[in-house]
Amino acid sequence: MAVDTFVPNRTVNLAKRRSLLIEIAIVAAIALFLIFALPWMISAFRLNLMGRFLALAIVALGIDLIWGFTGLLSLGHGIFFTLGGYALAMHLKLPQPPGSGLPDFMSLYGVSELPWFWRPFYSAPFSMMAIAVIPAIIAGLLGYVIFRNRIRGVYFSILTQAATIIFFNFFNGQQKLFNGTNGLTDFRSVFGLPVKDNRTQYILYIITILFVVAAYALCRWLTSGRFGRLLVAIRDDESRVRFTGYNPTGFKILVFAVSGALAGIAGALFTLQSGIVSPNTMNIAFSIEMVIWVAVGGRATLVGAILGAVVVNLAKSLLSEKFPDFWLFFQGGLFLLVVLLLPSGIIGWLRTSGVNLYKQLTGQTRLSTYPSLEEDPEVEYERKNLGD
């Protein structure tokens, strides 16, 4: 009897829907654990640190979106991260009601009138919008200048690094406008709530978790379907994409702007929980650290970006407390270990070598030539109906 080799679309769609529901359930379970269980297990100080690390995970998702999926290695995301922080901090530093005074640091430098570009930040809705829109616009403009000239690869990385130096020096030298190297700090209240109160910090922690989930969902949606496949095609062979009739410039500008917006949101959430924003987060080293988080967790995985940001910063915090004189050596050793032994990152290793190791330990004999094939519903259907 002939065996029907056609794979019904309904079977494939049901398998994909089931996989999506499982993923949603896992994300929801982790979020609920972080919101309701973790606060009872650690101190308020540790919870505040976890909130900061989760905020950094948002910018790591943006890095993974442009680097892991699109092949754009940005060394300037500290710009967008800091701009988002400044957008919120400017609103928090303005005395209410409007016109009742100047930010405290301006009087130290003899400023008698509020600069014009500070005035819109009296409005809370404008400030909330500016957190994402301003970094997205700057990223879009920078991307337009670079991508329209077909600059890519290491030259793109160098230009983003140069942009970081420009923005750092500008903000660092503007004492009258942004308090220079000291940055903006001493936030007393946010939407009527005292910033330093533990309850307020817990609310900010919950908001950060919700934004991490939303950012993950956005990146997951963007990297799925035709748009996601196009991003991967641009990463693997941009010239061939052009030959097929697509213009990669617009797609690269869009994804770079989205990544910048995510970095701005992350910067605002981090500023609220750390209590300060300054040009120090615009330096080159911090932008390189963001790339390292993604490399440690695993490129083009999204989950790896979140895991890498949390694990690296958690290790950094613990090691700096236990070994204040030597923790940098431990951190450097961790990065060397990942590069040499886990070039695909933690998640990448789990999906390849980790799968094979698990099958060896459990005595499974199925040959795994490529891990994603084992999860493909069409391959699974053929295996059941045609045999191995």
Q: Are residues 363 and 240 in the same domain?
A: no
Here the CATH number for the domain that contains residue 285 is: 1.10.3470
Cα–Cα dist 71/233, whole Å: 10
**Residue showing tokens 């420009």:** 166
Cis amide bond preceding 97, omega within 30? yes
Which amino acid type is present at position 300?
A
Cα–Cα dist 263/77, whole Å: 7
- Out of 328, 343, 371, a domain closes at 328
Q: What are the structure tokens assigned to 237, written together?
A: 């062979």
Q: Are residues 50 and 36 in the same domain?
A: no
Alpha helices in 33-153 (DSSP H): 38-41, 44-63, 77-93, 124-147
Cα–Cα dist 374/365, whole Å: 13
Cβ contacts of residue 290 below 8 Å, gap of 6+?
56, 59, 60, 63, 77, 78, 81
At 8 the pLDDT is 55
Boundaries of domain holding 370: 1-41+352-388
Q: Are residues 288 and 205 in the same domain?
A: yes
Q: Which percentage of the chain shows pLDDT scores above 70?
A: 89
Other Cβ atoms closer than 10 A to 223: 21
Q: Are residues 76 and 14 in the same domain?
A: no
At 3 the pLDDT is 47
Q: Are residues 138 and 31 in the same domain?
A: no
Number of domains in the chain: 2
Cα–Cα dist 311/304, whole Å: 10
**Residue showing tokens 């959430």:** 269
Which amino acid type is present at position 30?
I
**340 in a structural domain:** no
Q: Which residues pair with 380 in a beta bridge?
A: none
347 touches 298 (CB < 8 A): yes
Element (H, E) at 184: strand 184-185
pTM score above 0.85: yes
**161 in a structural domain:** yes
Name residues of the chain where pLDDT drops below 50.
1-3, 5-6, 367-368
Q: What are the structure tokens assigned to 318, written together?
A: 């613990």
Cα–Cα distances (Å) from 99 to 114, 185, 191, 315, 326, in that order, read: 9, 20, 18, 45, 50
At 309 the pLDDT is 96
**Half-sphere exposure of 364 toward its Cβ, with a 13 Å CA cutoff?**
9
Q: Are residues 269 and 236 in the same domain?
A: yes
Q: Are residues 288 and 319 in the same domain?
A: yes
